[in-house]
Amino acid sequence: MGHRTGWAGAFTAALLLALATRAPAAEPPAKAAAAPGTLRILAKARQMSTYNLGTRFEVGTQDITFEAPAAYQSSFDFWASRMKGQKRSEVCDITTITQGVEESGDVPFRRTIPRFDIEVLQGGQIYAPGLNIGKALAAFAWEGSLDRYGNVKEMRRVEGTESDEIKALAIPEMSHIFPEIAESHDLKVGEGFKDERIVRLPTKLTIAGLEHVTIKWTREYILKSQDAGIATFEVKTTYATDPAFKPEMERTTCQVSGSGTGEATFEVKRGVFLSSRLPSTMHIEIEAPLRPLPEHPETEVSGTGKSHVLLDLLLTGEQTVKRVWGDDTD
């Protein structure tokens, strides 16, 4: 038995030595030290670590109005009264476990969602979906790799079965609560950088030709202060129409605008975001053909109606990143 234990110990020692002496990936050319009065912001993928992200996404209808001929007004007033004040809240924990750095510099990871809750407020009543989405998502897993800056380079689902209900969840929005950073930024207070991406509309439209609207989501991170190794950013959010989006029906348009101001914190030494709170307001302007109404012959010639939707949005999250094997030396 002692002889067998010795072989196991030798094998373990050899494995650890191989891991420790593996040639490191080529690093990009190093920049000169940050100039005095500036702070270097450099995001990093943390190997052999656990990322725990607790995040929440809320979208509510603050106001909705319509412009349409008199024959449609009573119907539109009815739907406006039902939609105004509606609110949808999704809360989840996203766990990402990383492995060691590969020769390419990428860091493999596995991601799960151990907790997920959803509530819908409508007509002053709180409703939960009939499907146990939390239980369904607990069976999901994704695998992929992070680049050296901690951005998802590629990811694939390896466990779990998607459904239309799961595809409609705000998991992509919550997963991207922090920006992608692909280079270092040397910033003075009042300076910053932008993160831009094309995303889906945060609420599904049941209007022909507008079922898959995409928008431009821009966040500007402006350095406010730095204290005890934590950088605090003011985050300015803006929404705009995606120039590439084309409605699938004639005489149908969708214009998006809006903005908001929030805050985010970043741990400078370890290169990871710790928290973010992003409140914002979105304006959606829709024009679409009207359907003919029974007993209203004047509506047989199809006109168009306009909808004005004002949404309140809130995306929040807090993240911890802990090394689970080896020394966190950098």
Where residue 39 falls among pLDDT bands split at 50, 70, 90? very high
The reported pLDDT for the residue numbered 266 is 98
pLDDT score of 232: 98
Integer angstrom CA distances of residue 59 from 3, 203, 234, 242, 281: 64, 8, 21, 20, 9
Q: How confident is the model at residue 106 (pLDDT cuts 50, 70, 90)?
A: very high
Residue 99 confidence (pLDDT) = 96
Distance CA 265, CA 225 (A): 10
- Percentage, residues of the chain above pLDDT 70: 88
pLDDT over 90, % of the chain: 67
- Domain positions in the chain are 38-323
pLDDT of residue 183: 94
The predicted model gives 202-206 an average pLDDT of: 88
- In this predicted structure, the answer to whether residue 280 has a pLDDT above a threshold of 60 is yes
Tokens of 51: 């990322």
Predicted local confidence at residue 76, as pLDDT: 82
Which of 80, 87, 79 lies closest to 127, judged by CA?
87
| pLDDT given at position 30 | 59
**Which backbone phi and psi does 134 adopt, to 5 degrees?**
-60, -45
Classify the phi-psi angles of 10: left when phi > 0, otherwise alpha if psi is within -120 to 50, otherwise beta: alpha
Of the listed ranges 12-21, 172-181, 245-254, the one predicted with least confidence: 12-21
CATH class of 38-323: mainly beta
- What's the whole-number average pLDDT of the chain? 87
Higher per-residue pLDDT: 318 or 299: 318
Over residues 289-306, mean pLDDT: 83
Calculate mean pLDDT across residues 92-120. Answer: 95
Q: How far is CA 214 from CA 129, 217, 237, 242, in A?
A: 25, 10, 16, 6
pLDDT of residue 259: 98
